[in-house]
Amino acid sequence: MKSRRGMLLTGALAGVLSVVAGSVVYSHCQIPCGIYGDETRFDVLAEHITTIEKSINQIVELSAADKPNMNQIVRWVNNKEAHADELTEIVTYYFMAQRIKPAEPTDKAAHDRYVHQLTLLHRMMVEAMKAKQTTDLQHVQNLRGLLSAFEKAYMDHEHGHTH
């Protein structure tokens, strides 16, 4: 009896620990933990853009082969889409939901900065979506330009940093 009860208790404890561990791994989103830094998020966004670009180049190269390797093409398409989704997640859940603070329309300068930053982030989301839909490298260039413009608008105005 004791061994069965012990096994049940051990199983229940393992289940609780897996739920707790799983929530710890994923729970930092949208809480003010201060773990992530803004500069790091910009570096990660730039890496996602570079990975999207490499994926597009590989898709085009592999597709042009006399005998295209469809398995590899599909893997690069999946990679491109995953990185576009991760870019969009950072834009949405890190910057739009947590870091960009709404400004009252009565404070024209602050409101204009707020609208400008949101517009740049929205345009990044649209370009990421278009990069998922095509192999047009123009969307990668647009993403790089938008990231640079947003970083300047965000760091200069929100944090007083200069580049």
pLDDT in tens, 23-53: 333 334 555 566 668 999 999 999 999 999 9
Q: Is residue 140 a contact partner of residue 56, using CB atoms and an 8 Å limit?
A: yes
Write down the pTM of the prediction. Answer: 0.77
Q: Is residue 134 a contact partner of residue 59, using CB atoms and an 8 Å limit?
A: no
pLDDT at position 23 is 36
Note the pLDDT tens digit of each residue in 140-160. 999 999 999 999 999 986 555
Note the pLDDT tens digit of each residue in 87-146. 999 999 999 999 999 999 999 999 999 999 999 999 999 999 999 999 999 999 999 999
Q: How would you class 128 by CB atoms within 10 Å of its CB: exposed for 0-12, middle for 13-18, buried for 19 or more?
A: buried
